[in-house]
Structure 1
């Protein structure tokens, strides 16, 4: 029986991929038994696929509010989408994000993608509401530098999400959206369609097992 693709986890983390993270701040409270990826790294690419029905989730479609923000933030697991990798060269990886007294950290792409979507969401509603977006890492910038950073960051996210969608290239066929009797079928909304998706619970479980560290909060 297909699941409905409205799954969330209960953490309230952040995803500051665009920011220059402070290695000293990030290492505070880090114990020597931090979870490190060894040979299990390859298992991240072997997450099982399960049938998932796409269906409307109003909380994610809602305008910014404490409730909807909490829902978006809950999509990111503890560790903020980063993992520690020991001997990264063994897996053909280049240098990661340095942190004191620990292996380098690496971002997992799906959480980078969610961060970008969350950042675009925050910027969109901020524009509608006539306020300055809250973007982690940019709080202390001058207005001019903030505007420049926002334009560059948004442009990066549009292009990054474009490539992520093309990479996944979901070829599922979608039928017409339901309409009242007598009305012409004229659009597709994607709801009620079964897709073959990575098992999100397995993804989150793997992330929590190998989670990195981050001092930021919030998805954007």
Structure 2
């Protein structure tokens, strides 16, 4: 029996105080070990974080430069996709974007009676017609009403102004017999057309009002005191001449 009993390990009793003390010490040691591992992991994480921050700080210039290059690249793409100033957004240009960007000129308007004579009969003279034709391209000509063609808004406006001057002069000078039968409809069409042309252009030039304003428009009217930003008219006429020769546009006579 003694020999057999030595083959078995000692079994602790649950009520044994020595066993309880031993187990308590073991739990404490395991708790300390777990706490040490947790502290070690936290220290490692903190170390990695600090190392990453140090790396970012060391290479911050490279990161900033890269971000700046990306922003510049995106802005360049936006600018390339944006319509150029010479396209349809140029005031007074064709909506298709065709045509050059005309140079601008600073211009002061002045009264000129050679274009608007006070004598009614002069509006039907060849001299005045030639004067107004100096503002038109050389290739202006009549075309059949059955043809499909494109005219130009600017020359249409000049035609309206010339015809309105003729109609007014004929009626005020009691020579209405020289007018076409549809002169009233023509006149009102031109009023409406020029109204929209003025609104489209939207000239924002300041016009100072002075007591010394000319007698043609009355004191404090200021019609001739403004300084305007205009297209170079000589360049406009040259371009229209080329367009007429190339068959792109048709310009009707100013007295049509």
TM-score (normalizing by structure 2): 0.50
Contact 2:155 2:254 in 1 (8 A): no
**Bigger radius of gyration:** 2
Deviations 1:193-218 (A, max 9, x none): 32000110011000111115879755
Would the aligned equivalents of 1:52 and 1:195 in 2 still touch at CA under 8 Å?
yes
Partner of 2:197: 164
Is 1:77 the counterpart of 2:77? The answer is no
What's the CA shift string for 1:44-84, capped at 9, x where partnerless?
5x2222111111112013135233332123222223289xx
In structure 2, the residue matched to 1:195 is 228
Query: Which residue matches 1:219?
Result: 255
| Residue equivalent to 1:87 | none
- TM-superposed CA distance for 1:186, in Å, is 4.5
Change (3 A) 1:174 1:133: farther
SS at match of 1:59: coil
Q: Distance in 2 between matches of 1:164 and 1:76?
A: 18
Asked if 1:47 is matched to 2:80, the reply is no
1:129 is matched with 173
Show structure 2 runs of 5+ residues with no match: 1-95
Q: CA RMSD in A?
A: 3.3
2:208 to 175, 178, 191: 175
Q: Distance in 2 between matches of 1:171 and 1:215?
A: 29
Higher-helix-fraction structure:
2
When you count strand as a share of all residues, which structure comes out higher?
1
Tell me, what secondary structure is at the counterpart of 1:130? coil
Q: TM-score, normalised on structure 1? A: 0.57
What residue in structure 1 maps to residue 185 of structure 2? 152
1:107 aligns with 2:167: no
